[in-house]
Amino acid sequence: MFVFVCAGCGAELTTPLSQVSLPVHARQKYGNGAQLPVLMESGTFAVDPDSWGGPWRMWDEIDPSEAEARGIYAPVYALSDSPPGASVIAPGDIRGTRLIPEKRGGACCGLDGADGPNMACEACGLPVATRVDDCSLWQAVRLSSDAVRRVPVDGVHVASLSWAELAEKGEKTPPFEPIATWTGRLGSNHYWSWSPQWEAAAGQALAHLLVASQGQPVKVPDGLTADVFQRALDALLPAGPPKRRAVLAGPGQPSPDAGVDILLVPVHPQTGQTWTPASTTASAYLVPLPLGVWLWLVSPQPYLAVPASGRIPRDVLRDDPLPLLPNYLFRADRGTFQHTLVRLPAMRSPWLRTILENLRQGTSVDLF
């Protein structure tokens, strides 16, 4: 575990934290006026390898070789020039800081970090972090990599769970959830929706599925997996009989056939490592999915739990009504999809660039 301290004066700025993988939805902007919860679990931090926030440079100001050196292989609207490697934590885990009022940014309901670091070390005044809690953004504090240092906590070590433990005890992420919003006429309101986490996870996975397709039609498993991916794959890839097949694979699941082309596999929530299959399918393309999403896909619950008080005798069957379902087809998160796709080296291929350009020009069907 680690404590983060100010690089200027050494003052402690956080509680002890253990490192985990950065959530796929860390950069997601969801809906309009939505109240999203805290991004990181309390007691954890994750490192964002990419730059985030201002200052910005437009694409025509950037040499393509510089962009590739930063791991970007296709044009984007603009690139952040802030230092990469920020550590992302829950707002409740920050200590010894104060807000910088003049760095509020252009937010309407909170802070969006548009003006750069908006939190300073209380001891020396050095800007050290950016708090984000505006509507439609996941709430987090981003500790600037050039303004803080990470100090190990002596005698404390958090062991990583094994894949077998994660398969047995890992927490599933439901595909539907109520979304709170400030847009109601009478104040706070909510509506039932596809999970923002699922939409972000699908955006990342869809980018990998396109690369894995090699420009050929792809078939994913029927059921919820098809609801999430098949419509987009059919729209973005050439028509015709499927030539490449994707299946769910991972810990506790039967070994996939040797002829399978694409495997939808989980990512370890602590280490960020992608599950790797046996050598018989080593040539298959691995498409990463957050563990909670993957667990639900391989073992879906028949319906979501309904909050209740008190206890019901074991021999009594519940007849709660099923929760409402979204009234629209699933749509992957566009921002996560594009952020992932332009950072895959396969984007040098003309056919993939054509797909991306068509999406930007609005010539493809409404998939996002």
Question: Following DSSP, what letter does each residue of 223-253 receive, concatenated?
Answer: THHHHHHHHHHHHHS--SS--EEEEE--TTS
Cα angle 148, 153, 155 (rounded to 5 degrees) comes to: 165
**Could you write out the DSSP letters of every residue in 118-161?**
-EEETTT--EEEEEE--TTB-BEEEE-TTTEEEEEPTT---PPP
Q: What integer pLDDT is reported at residue 362 of this predicted model?
A: 75
β-strand 218-219 against 244-248: which pairing, if any?
parallel
The secondary element (H helix, E strand) that includes residue 35 is strand 34-35
Fill in the DSSP letter of residue 27.
G
Q: What integer pLDDT is reported at residue 257 of this predicted model?
A: 82
Q: What is the pLDDT of residues 19-75, one digit of tens each?
A: 999 999 999 999 888 889 999 999 999 999 999 988 889 999 999 899 999 999 999
CA max distance for the chain? 69
The secondary element (H helix, E strand) that includes residue 44 is strand 44-48
Q: Structure tokens of 334?
A: 């566009």
Average pLDDT over residues 122-149: 96
Instruction: Read off the pLDDT band of 355 (50, 70, 90).
Output: very high
Burial state string for 122-138 with b = 16 or more CB within 10 A and e = fewer than 16: eeeebbbbbbbbbbbbb
Q: What integer pLDDT is reported at residue 188 of this predicted model?
A: 58
Q: Structure tokens of 123?
A: 């001891």
Rg (CA), the chain: 22
Q: What is the pLDDT of residues 147-177, one digit of tens each?
A: 999 999 987 777 889 999 999 999 999 999 8
Q: What integer pLDDT is reported at residue 124 of this predicted model?
A: 97
Q: How far apart are CA 12 and CA 2, in angstroms?
A: 11
